[in-house]
Chain A
Amino acid sequence: QQQVKQSPQSLIVQKGGISIINCAYENTAFDYFPWYQQFPGKGPALLIAIRPDVSEKKEGRFTISFNKSAKQFSLHIMDSQPGDSATYFCAASKPGNTGKLIFGQGTTLQVKP
């Protein structure tokens, strides 16, 4: 059972544009929602994360918007750059000490110069 659904599967954006990736979750027990960035040949790396007690978190050009009632959250990349071209994964985890992450399917972003 897929608990975190991510869309779109792939995304092409022009340099300077806004990239938007969406995720929806099913389990209301989730309390931590990170986004990971993965370049080819590398492991995923934490990009930005949010908890459900806030509706938005911004770090540089990256913003997470969180809608608890809709059980959705999204990643916005402002002023997208070719160096942002990568695969992005949303994830979720439950409270407790396990730290286990449940990942979405991933979105491959291509930023054209």
Chain B
Amino acid sequence: EAEVAQSPRYKITEKSQAVAFWCDPISGHATLYWYRQILGQGPELLVQFQDESVVDDSQLPKDRFSAERLKGVDSTLKIQPAELGDSAMYLCASRREAGANVLTFGAGSRLTVL
């Protein structure tokens, strides 16, 4: 069964450091999402890509967060500098085609900022 791959699975960093997360969606999935899930809460959308273009980044803290999907396949989410409040699970999801409702999530990257 095809999966959304994410790495690293776990990251511990000190505040003010830079961190990066990588996501490889299911092959052929044009839409890619980055969600943040704070412990005990539901996932919240950070950024959405359609191919290589950003569709929605209204909830992305752009002063410290950036995301790219240069070739419309895999994607990187970066945080610089990391803050204590960034500790969360960062989930990547992909969707087969526009109009399809089913999102397939990866296992996530858990970030702990000390």
Q: Do A and B come from one complex?
A: yes
Would you call B55 an interface residue if the criterion is a C-beta within 8 Å of the partner chain's C-beta atoms? yes
State which of A13-21, A53-61, A70-78, A97-105 sits at the interface with chain B.
A97-105
Would you call A41 an interface residue if the criterion is a C-beta within 8 Å of the partner chain's C-beta atoms? yes
Would you call B48 an interface residue if the criterion is a C-beta within 8 Å of the partner chain's C-beta atoms? yes
B105 touches A105 (CB 8 A): no
Answer whether A43 and B93 are a contact pair too, CB < 8 Å, given A34-B101, A98-B48, A99-B31. Answer: yes
Interface residues of A in 75-113 (CB under 8 A from B): 89, 91, 93, 97-106
B41 touches A100 (CB 8 A): no
Contacts of A93 in B (CB 8 A): 101
Would you call A45 an interface residue if the criterion is a C-beta within 8 Å of the partner chain's C-beta atoms? yes
Contacts of A4 in B (CB 8 A): 42
Would you call A46 an interface residue if the criterion is a C-beta within 8 Å of the partner chain's C-beta atoms? yes
Would you call B113 an interface residue if the criterion is a C-beta within 8 Å of the partner chain's C-beta atoms? no
Q: How far is the CB of B110 from chain A (nearest CB, A)?
A: 9
Partner of A100, one of B45, B99, B100: B45
- Give the bracket for the number of chain B residues in contact with chain A: 20 to 34
Would you call A49 an interface residue if the criterion is a C-beta within 8 Å of the partner chain's C-beta atoms? yes
B101 touches A32 (CB 8 A): yes
A103 touches B56 (CB 8 A): no
B107 touches A41 (CB 8 A): yes
B56 touches A97 (CB 8 A): no
B95 touches A99 (CB 8 A): yes
Interface residues of A in 23-79 (CB under 8 A from B): 32, 34, 36, 41-46, 49
8 A-B pairs closest in CB distance: A103-B42, A43-B105, A97-B98, A44-B105, A99-B95, A43-B107, A43-B106, A103-B43
